[in-house]
Structure 1
Amino acid sequence: MAEFVAKTSQEEGVEITSRSLVRFNPVIFADEIVNAVEAEAERQALSYRRLPSGAGHDAQFMASVCPAGMIFVPCVDGISHNVKRT
C-alpha cells in the first residue's frame, strides 16, 4: 500500500498523508470451531481454505470469552458489503 501511495503521490504531484484510526489485534479462533467448520466443508465436498482476517467482527471480541470462529463466503465477482451483492 505504501508503495502505491508513494507512486500515486509522485505521478499526480500531490502530497498524501495518512493516519491509523483503529488497530485490532489478531485473534486465534478456537480449534474446535475451526476444525468443525473444516470437517463439514469436507463432508459436503466444498472447497475451503484457512485464512487470517484483519476484519473487526463480533467474533473477534467474543473469542476472549467463549470459543469462536468465522466463516467467509466468497461473493459473486468479489462484491461484498454492497447492495449489489447477490
Structure 2
Amino acid sequence: MIFLDTRELDHPLPLEMAVDAFKNLAETEVIHMFHRREPIPLFEIILKNGGYYLSYQDSEELWHILITRSPAVNLEEYRV
C-alpha cells in the first residue's frame, strides 16, 4: 500500500502526486490518499487511464481515496 497524505498541500500538488503514484502503480497495488477535499479531477484521470477508485469521507470530514489498476482488487477491504 502506498500512502499519500496531501491534507496540508495546495492545488495542484495533491493531484500531481496522485497521478505520479498512479503512473508507477503495480497491477495489484493500492494507493491510499488522504485529502481535505474530494478530488473529482483525479477521478476522471484515473478512469480515463484504466484505473479504479473508491472515495469516502470519515467522521472527521477527511477524504480517503483508494486507487488501484486492477478490477480484481476489492477496494472496500481497504477502508479504515
TM-score normalised to structure 2 length:
0.28
Quick check: which has more Rg, 1 or 2?
1
Q: Normalized per residue, which structure has more strand?
A: 2
TM-score normalised to structure 1 length:
0.27
Higher relative contact order (CA 8 A, sep 6+): 2
